[in-house]
């Protein structure tokens, strides 16, 4: 009887520890998103102020800055994932938070674009927060709960986008640099919180040695080149990421340059998207993944994304751009579904390796998507162009999602 009670107590303590761990990861992602969404509405004006160029030129520079961030993320992602499999999740997450604080300080002090590039390089290394956070969640989740718990990352991200633009809109009155200082402060607070409470979730018995072969970002892409069970789904995930990155890449430039929005309106739209995104990832993903299964949830998210992108490709009306935001947020159903399916196909001691591969894919998408999407927007909005089509980036993203859903169908029929 005493042995049974002791077993129940240990199980209860383990569940409580897992809840605390999940709450911390939610907090980390929330703060990360909060900082990013505080500065996003002011980026077009900030870059224009630094360069003295047009909004189209600012969009081009914004794409290049994001591309630089993505190159570093791609190169470092697999190594960071493997390091977390060897040394544990805690030190890697804390280090990435420290780099993010330094990134925002550098950008706040930036006298020119060179400083922004330096900040983006550090931010690329700090992208480990998301990759290792996913491995962290896989460590503390049962297989049937992984997709729902991966949704917590999206919920934290979305909630940050609800609050961040409002804060950024208020403090921008203090100057264009104020949101960057504020982002540095809140991420520093998150770092201190993590130092105090972040547990280690990867037991010594599940750790493995670090190998440069697995840390090679190009080797991490081997599953894309070699025919196998994972390839169609990984390719679909890459196309999905390429498509979804159209929003952070061109939304601020599209709404300001094409719809005539001010930073406050951009901030409101981001907050609305964040609220919708939080509902989808924090609640709807959990419900639908259990009732419909991961495959159906994945397909539903991509179909919603295609509809939203198709509407944005042809709209020139503010009300319609706002109306489509909840549909666009439904596209986020696919992200935790992808992660859940892939994690369930992967052994416990290779979850960091898997998330390194996913981080490498995210890096590739962030290298090419912002560069291509911002250049497409620039080309189709210049006075010299033969066809004025500001919605062209959204049309391209819709085509990528169509390709992704075809690959998912192929995966299901294997």
Confidence bin at 350 (pLDDT 50/70/90):
low
Residue 380 burial by Cβ neighbours in a 10 Å radius (0-12, 13-18, 19+): middle
Mean pLDDT score of the chain? 80
Inform me whether the pLDDT recorded for 72 exceeds 90: no
Q: Residue 242: which pLDDT band, with cuts at 50, 70 and 90?
A: very high
Average pLDDT over residues 336-360: 75
- Look at residue 125 in the predicted model and tell me its pLDDT: 77
pTM exceeds 0.75, yes or no: no
Predicted local distance difference test score (pLDDT) of residue 300? 93
Of the listed ranges 59-68, 282-291, 301-310, the one predicted with least confidence = 59-68
Q: Is residue 106 predicted with pLDDT exceeding 50?
A: yes
Mean pLDDT over 338-365 rounds to 75
Confidence of residue 239 (pLDDT cuts 50, 70, 90): very high
pLDDT band for 8, please (50, 70, 90 cuts). Answer: very low
Per-residue pLDDT, 16: 56
The CATH architecture assigned to 17-198+209-412 reads Up-down Bundle (1.20)
pLDDT greater than 90 at residue 312: yes
Whole-number pLDDT of residue 109: 92
pLDDT per residue over 112-168, tens digit each? Answer: 888 888 888 888 777 655 667 777 777 777 766 766 777 777 778 778 877 887 788
pLDDT at residue number 221: 64
Return the pLDDT at 349.
Answer: 67
- Band the pLDDT of 365: cuts 50, 70, 90: confident
Residue 308: pLDDT over 90? yes
Task: Decide if pLDDT at 4 tops 50.
Answer: no
Note the pLDDT tens digit of each residue in 28-53.
888 888 887 788 778 878 888 888 77
Predicted confidence at residue 7, as pLDDT, reads: 43
Question: Residue 307: what pLDDT?
Answer: 96
Q: Flag the least confident range among 56-60, 184-188, 318-322, 386-390.
A: 56-60
For the cut 70, the answer to whether the pLDDT of residue 203 exceeds it is no
Q: pLDDT confidence of 326, banded at 50, 70, 90?
A: very high
Can you give the residue ranges of every domain in the chain? 17-198+209-412
* pLDDT of amino acid 259: 86
| Angle (nearest 5°) at CA 403 between 275 and 309 | 35
């Amino acid at each position: 009887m005493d042995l049974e009670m002791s077993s129940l107590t240990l199980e209860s303590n383990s569940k409580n520890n897992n809840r605390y761990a999940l709450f911390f990861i939610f907090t980390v992602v929330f703060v990360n998103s909060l900082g990013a969404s505080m500065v996003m509405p002011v980026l077009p004006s900030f870059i224009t102020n630094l360069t003295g160029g047009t909004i189209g030129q600012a969009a081009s520079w914004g794409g290049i800055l994001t591309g630089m961030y993505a190159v570093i993320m791609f190169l470092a992602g697999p190594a960071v994932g493997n390091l977390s499999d060897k040394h544990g999740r805690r030190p890697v997450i804390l280090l990435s938070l420290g780099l993010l604080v330094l990134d925002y300080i550098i950008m706040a002090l930036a006298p020119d674009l060179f400083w922004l590039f330096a900040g983006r390089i550090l931010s690329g290394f700090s992208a480990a927060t998301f990759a290792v956070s996913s491995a962290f969640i896989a460590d503390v989740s049962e297989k049937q709960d992984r997709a729902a718990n991966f949704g917590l990352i999206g919920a934290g991200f979305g909630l940050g986008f609800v609050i961040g633009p409002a804060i950024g809109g208020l403090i921008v009155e203090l100057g264009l640099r104020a949101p960057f200082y504020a982002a540095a402060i809140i991420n520093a607070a998150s770092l201190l919180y993590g130092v105090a409470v972040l547990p280690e979730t990867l037991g010594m018995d599940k750790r493995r040695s670090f190998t440069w072969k697995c840390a090679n970002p190009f080797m991490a892409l081997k599953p894309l080149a070699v025919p196998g069970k994972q390839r169609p789904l990984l390719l679909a995930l890459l196309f999905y990421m390429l498509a979804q990155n159209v929003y952070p890449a061109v939304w601020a430039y599209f709404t300001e340059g094409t719809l005539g929005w001010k930073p406050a309106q951009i901030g409101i739209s981001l907050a609305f998207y964040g609220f919708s995104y939080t509902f989808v990832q924090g609640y709807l993903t959990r419900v639908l993944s259990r009732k419909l299964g991961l495959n159906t949830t994945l397909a539903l998210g991509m179909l919603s994304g295609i509809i939203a992108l198709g509407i944005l490709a042809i709209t020139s009306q503010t009300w319609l751009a706002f109306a489509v935001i909840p549909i666009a947020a439904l596209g986020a159903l696919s992200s935790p579904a992808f992660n859940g399916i892939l994690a369930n196909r992967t052994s416990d001691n290779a979850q960091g390796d898997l998330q390194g591969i996913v981080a490498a894919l995210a890096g590739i998408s962030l290298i090419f998507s912002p560069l291509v999407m911002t250049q497409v927007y620039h080309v189709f909005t210049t006075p010299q162009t033969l066809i004025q089509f500001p919605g062209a980036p959204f049309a391209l993203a819709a085509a990528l999602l169509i390709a992704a859903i075809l690959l998912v169908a192929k995966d299901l029929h294997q």
